[in-house]
Amino acid sequence: MSRSGNTPGPRATCAPVAMATGPRLTVGVEEEFLLVDPHTRLLVPAAAPVIVTARAKLDNLVTPELTRYQVETRTEPHRNLGALAEQLYANRLQLSRAAAAHRAGLVSSGTPVLSPTGAPPFTPGERYERSARAFGALDEEQVCCACHVHVGMASREEAVQVSNHLRAWIAVLIAATANSPLWGGRDTGHASWRTVCWARWPAAGPPPYFESAAHYDDAVATLIGTGVVLDAGGIYWDIRPSHHLPTLEVRLADAGLTVDDTVLIAALVRAAAATALADVRAGRPAPRPEPHLLRAASWRSAREGLTGTILDPVSRQLTPSSRRMHRLLAWIRPALAWHGDTSQVDSLLSRLHLHGTGAVRQRAAWRRHRRPADTVDYLLSHTLTAPGTHRH
C-alpha cells in the first residue's frame, strides 16, 4: 500500500514476483440459503428434514443455520475456479432437490422477500438458545443469508496482517455483491439490507486494525470474557481469521443470486488477499482509515450498490462505483493472472455490468408488477442457474 495514505494502486512490477515465490492460494465458500413455500412464497421452516435428505448426497457439507428457514452449504478448498463453480452448482442442485422433496423451494438472497409474521423458529441447540437469551429481538431480525469466502493462509499472523490491508476495500466489495433490496414485501431503499441488519451486532462490520495475531486474540478474549459475544464464533467482523480453519474468512457479501455471482466474489477476494499478502511480505504498511469512515463507507455501499458513488475511506472522497472497482481490479490484476483467473473474472465482470448485481435484478422483477411474489419466483428460477449461463 502507498505510504502516503492515498488510495492503493496497482503494483504491476513487484506483486507478481512476490506471488510467484509460493503456491497459489486455496479458496473455499460457505453459502447460506432460504427455504420458501413455492405457493405462498413465504419462508417455510423445513431446514431439519431438508438437511437430513440432502446429507445423503452432501454429507457434512450441508449444515443448519440460526433459524429453521435457513440452510448452509460449504465447499472444499479449491485452487481452480472451475472446480469451485462445479461444486457450488452441485451443492445447490442437491439442496434444491432435497427441498423439493419436502415441498420447499431454494432461494439465494441476502434477505427474504416475504416472511411469516412473528419471531422466526430457531434451530434447536444449546448455543442458539444461549444466543436467544443474550440477544433477544436481535436474533429474531437476523433471517439473513451471506456468502463467506475462505482463503488459505500459512499462519494466523499473516491472516491478521492481510485483514489490515483489505479493510480499505470492504465497501466496494459490499457494493459488488449486494443482493438484498427487499424486506417484508417492500423495497428497503438499500441494495444490501442484510449489511445494515448485520451491522447491529456488537462485533460486526469492518474489523479493527490489529498490530498482531496476539492483539487480535486479546481483543476477542476481552469480548468473550465480558459477555459481549458468546464465543469466537460470535465475532462477526467482515474479515476475520477463521477460529477453526487455517484461513482468512471474508464475510461481507450477500448470498450470491447465482453460482457465477458467488464465483466472482471468491475470485476477487482471493486475488485481493494474495495481493495484500505480497504487500505484507514486502513490508508495505496497510492504510489505516478511521473506523467511523469504514462504517460510513459500508453503509453507503449497502444503500447504493454499484449504481452510485462509493466512499473511499482512505482518500475520504466520494468516487463513482465504476472507478473504485477499476482501482481494485488494477491492484489485484497481477494476482488474478497468477491464479489463472483473469479471463473468467473479466467475463463475469462483463455480465455484472450488463445485468447488474442481484439487487438490481431483484428490483427489476419487483418493478414489473409491484408484486413481491414475482421477485420470489424470480429468485426460485435463478438460484439454480448453471455456471456460465446467460440469464437475467
DSSP string, 264-278: HHHHHHHHHHHHHHH
Question: Is residue 135 in a domain?
Answer: yes
pLDDT at 14: 39
Reduced to 3 states (helix: H, G, I; strand: E, B; else coil), residue 122 is strand
- Is the Cβ–Cβ distance between 384 and 93 less than 8 Å? yes
pLDDT at 140: 86
How many Cβ atoms sit within 10 Å of the Cβ of residue 103? 12
Q: What is the DSSP letter of 284?
A: P
Cα gap 261→173, rounded to integer Å: 12
- Residue 14 pairs with which residues in a beta bridge? none
pLDDT at 4: 33
Cα gap 117→112, rounded to integer Å: 12
pLDDT at 244: 87
Q: How confident is the model at residue 391 (pLDDT cuts 50, 70, 90)?
A: low
Question: Is residue 4 in a domain?
Answer: no
12 pLDDT above the threshold of 70: no
Cα gap 278→123, rounded to integer Å: 42
What does the pLDDT average to over 82-102?
A: 98
Residue 371: give its domain's CATH number. Answer: 3.30.590.20
Q: What is the mean pLDDT of the chain?
A: 93
pLDDT at 132: 86
pTM across the whole model: 0.94
End-to-end CA distance of the chain: 37
Distant-in-sequence, close-in-space partners of 126: CB < 8 Å, separation ≥ 6: none
Cα gap 9→46, rounded to integer Å: 47
Q: Label residues 170-182 b or e (16+ Cβ within 10 Å = b).
A: bbbbbbbbbbbbb
278 pLDDT above the threshold of 50: yes
Cα 230–chain centre separation = 22
Cα gap 386→268, rounded to integer Å: 20
Domain extent at residue 118:
15-382
Reduced to 3 states (helix: H, G, I; strand: E, B; else coil), residue 156 is helix
Question: Is residue 5 in a domain?
Answer: no
Q: What is the pLDDT of residues 125-176, one digit of tens each?
A: 898 888 988 999 898 888 999 999 999 999 999 999 999 999 999 999 999 9
The count of domains in the chain is 1
Question: Is residue 368 in a domain?
Answer: yes
pLDDT at 392: 62
pLDDT at 280: 97
Q: How confident is the model at residue 10 (pLDDT cuts 50, 70, 90)?
A: very low
What does the pLDDT average to over 381-391?
A: 88
What does the pLDDT average to over 224-238?
A: 95
Out of 128-132, 223-227, 358-362, which region has the weakest mean confidence (pLDDT)? 128-132
What does the pLDDT average to over 301-328?
A: 96
pLDDT at 182: 97
Distant-in-sequence, close-in-space partners of 21: CB < 8 Å, separation ≥ 6: none
How many Cβ atoms sit within 10 Å of the Cβ of residue 93? 15
Cα gap 229→132, rounded to integer Å: 12
